[in-house]
Amino acid sequence: MIKINNIEIPIYPSSYDDDPITVKTDSYAIDGSMERHQFPSKKEVKMEFTMATPSQVKFFRDIFEAPGIVQFYNDQSNYGVLAFEGIMTTCQASEYKRGGGLMTSLRVTIREK
């Protein structure tokens, strides 16, 4: 069960990736040598929904536009129970598909703070 802010999400993703992300930056030092700054890995979840309705898109958009952090919980992760506080960094819907259903694809990313 996937929950955001203790609310079960209204649609389950067609694509789900919860591999941790490692942030590192490379830069040049004054003497011309390369330097690498690596930070501890962070939890990150990427979800894609292929056929989301307008109300389902609104659910994620409201969380994305709200100030503050989100609580993410998934008890069926590859890593066991995955629970963390983070920020929703992406909530991007594509154009609605033609036909009367107003379905769209949606991409959501949540990263540990």
CB atoms within 10 A of CB 65: 9
- Residue 102: per-residue pLDDT: 81
The pLDDT tens digits of the residues spanning 64-99 come to 999 999 999 999 998 899 999 999 999 999 987 666
Going by pLDDT thresholds of 50, 70 and 90, the confidence category of residue 100 is low
- Residue 96: per-residue pLDDT: 77
106 vs 12: CA distance, rounded Å: 11
- Residue 84: per-residue pLDDT: 97
- Let me know: does 5 contact 86? Beta carbons within 8 Å: no
- Predicted TM-score of the model (pTM): 0.84
- Residue 92: per-residue pLDDT: 96
45 vs 63: CA distance, rounded Å: 15
Going by pLDDT thresholds of 50, 70 and 90, the confidence category of residue 23 is confident
The pLDDT tens digits of the residues spanning 24-52 come to 899 998 999 999 988 899 999 999 999 89
